[in-house]
Each structure stands twice: as C-alpha cells, then as structure tokens.
Amino acid sequence: MRVAEAPAWLALGEDALPGGGDWLTPAERQRAAGLRFRKRHDEFLLRRLVAKHAVATVLGRPPVPATLAAIEVGNAPGGAPLVRVDGVPLGADLSLTDRAGWAVCAIGPGIGCDLELVEPRTPGFVQDFLTAAEQRWVTSRPAGDARDAAANLVWSAKEAALKVLRVGLRRDTRDVEVEVGDPGPDGWGPLSVRESLGRRFPGWWRRSGRFLLTVAGTTAGPPPVLLTGTDRLATASPRHSWAGRPLR
C-alpha cells in the first residue's frame, strides 16, 4: 500500500466519537469491551478514531463507517501502533497520542508524537525526569505559563522520541536530551532530541491553545501538514468527561 512520505497530522476531540461500534473491527470491539475504566476505554477509542480518519484521508477514502472498519489499528508487542487496511499492512509509520479528551495521529517515516496540556509541573518532576541542561533551560523561563510550557514541552519531546525508538517510558527519560527552537510564522518550532548513544531525532513542536504537540522522527524534514480542516486544538478545551463516572 503506497502512502505519501511527507509527515502529516490530524487531531480529533471526544465529541467526534460515534455512538455505535460499526466503525471498529471485531478485534478492536473486543479490546474496547475489556476496558472497564471509562478513561482507558474512551481514550482507546479516540486514538483509534483519529488514526482511522488520518489513514482514510491519506488513502483518499471517505471516512464512512465501512471505510473506518476496514482499517485496523492494532499494536506491535512493544505497544507501537500497527495498522492494517483490508488486512494488508499499511506500509507507513504512524504514532498516536491523547490528552484531556483530544487525540492526535501523526503519519510519517519513523514518526513519534506526543500531546500534552500546558499545566504546572512540580520542581520534583523537573529534577527527576529532565537532564541537567534541560532543567537549566526550564528554570531560566519566567515562572508561570512560560515555565510550565517549557517543562511540558521538554517532557513531550522526550515521549515523542521514545516512541520513535519504540520503547516508550521503559527507557530512562534522562537518556534523551531535548533542544528546542522558537516557532516560525506557521506555529511550528524545531526540536532535536539527542539519545545518550549519540543518535539525533529531529522534529517539530507547536503550541495550540492549551495544548502542546511534539513530533519527532528518524530523519529531518518539513513540519507535518494538517490533513484536513484547521488546527482544532488551538481553540479546544481540555475535557475530563470520565472523571465523574470512572467505571463503565
């Protein structure tokens, strides 16, 4: 299956989740049924929904239930997403993330992405999970939104790079060091994540309203293009709709 090489992304909010399950494969329905906690269940579905919409868009297929049900979003043994379309491997990499009722899918060679909220992080978090250089950069920012954004940005870029490495948080977050540049007029700023073994993972970050999105990959390239519409994260409100009713 041929998929364009240029990196692309899409965000969807939980309001987009269909009521029924005809857009899921039998295996996805079974996995969802086994998730007792509403948070895990809803986030699982939202990540599937955004992945299926993104894949349908790059394949030029309409995002109708039959199309979406032909796209299976499974997982490799380590947890990385594994997509089949009509039973055939997609032949392209994608990465999934969600935060506060919103999910993002990024598609591109060797890609990893992560979505975070700009929210306060404790000094203990910064000390425990960031390298000394990252800590210096974060604490050099003015206290308040700028420092919160910096701490979340560094954390997010680490998660994106650890998804590129297909290890996630099994790896010590201080094994990868993040550097970021200022955003350009398109809202994307460059980032680079250096692994302790010397490899570098270039990528991009953007602040969209209350959210921060980071994307990293194995090779340098242009910022990801939005697959359809406008950046809905820019005006999105964080949602925690599971909080009042944790069990399904």
Ligand X SMILES: CC(C)(COP(=O)(O)OP(=O)(O)OC[C@H]1O[C@@H](n2cnc3c(N)ncnc32)[C@H](O)[C@@H]1OP(=O)(O)O)[C@@H](O)C(=O)NCCC(=O)NCCS
CB closer to ligand X, 97 vs 208: 97
Q: Which of 169, 220, 225, 226 is the binder for ligand X (CB under 6 A)?
A: 169
Stretch that binds ligand X, among 8-16, 159-167, 209-217, 235-243 (CB under 6 A): 159-167
Q: Phi/psi of residue 96, each to 5°?
A: -125, 150
DSSP state at residue 185: T
- The vertex-100 CA angle with 94 and 101, nearest 5°, equals 70
Site track for ligand X across 109-148, x = CB under 6 A: -----x----------------------------------
Does 30 contact ligand X by CB under 6 A? no
Q: Report in angstroms how near the CB of residue 142 gets to ligand X at its nearest.
A: 27
Alpha-carbon distance 123 to 223, whole Å? 31
Q: Report in angstroms how near the CB of residue 27 gets to ligand X at its nearest.
A: 12
Does 33 contact ligand X by CB under 6 A? no
DSSP state at residue 238: P
Q: Which of 79, 120, 222, 246 is the binder for ligand X (CB under 6 A)?
A: 79
Q: Phi/psi of residue 48, each to 5°?
A: -65, -45
**Residue 35, number of CB atoms within 10 A of its CB:** 15
Stretch that binds ligand X, among 6-14, 55-63, 94-102, 203-211 (CB under 6 A): 94-102
Alpha-carbon distance 4 to 98, whole Å? 24
Q: Report in angstroms how near the CB of residue 106 gets to ligand X at its nearest.
A: 11
> Strand ranges (DSSP E) for 5-124?
8-13, 71-75, 81-85, 88-89, 94-99, 102-107, 112-117
The residues of the shown chain that bind ligand X, judged by CB under 6 A, are 44, 47, 75, 78-81, 96-98, 114, 159, 162-163, 166-170
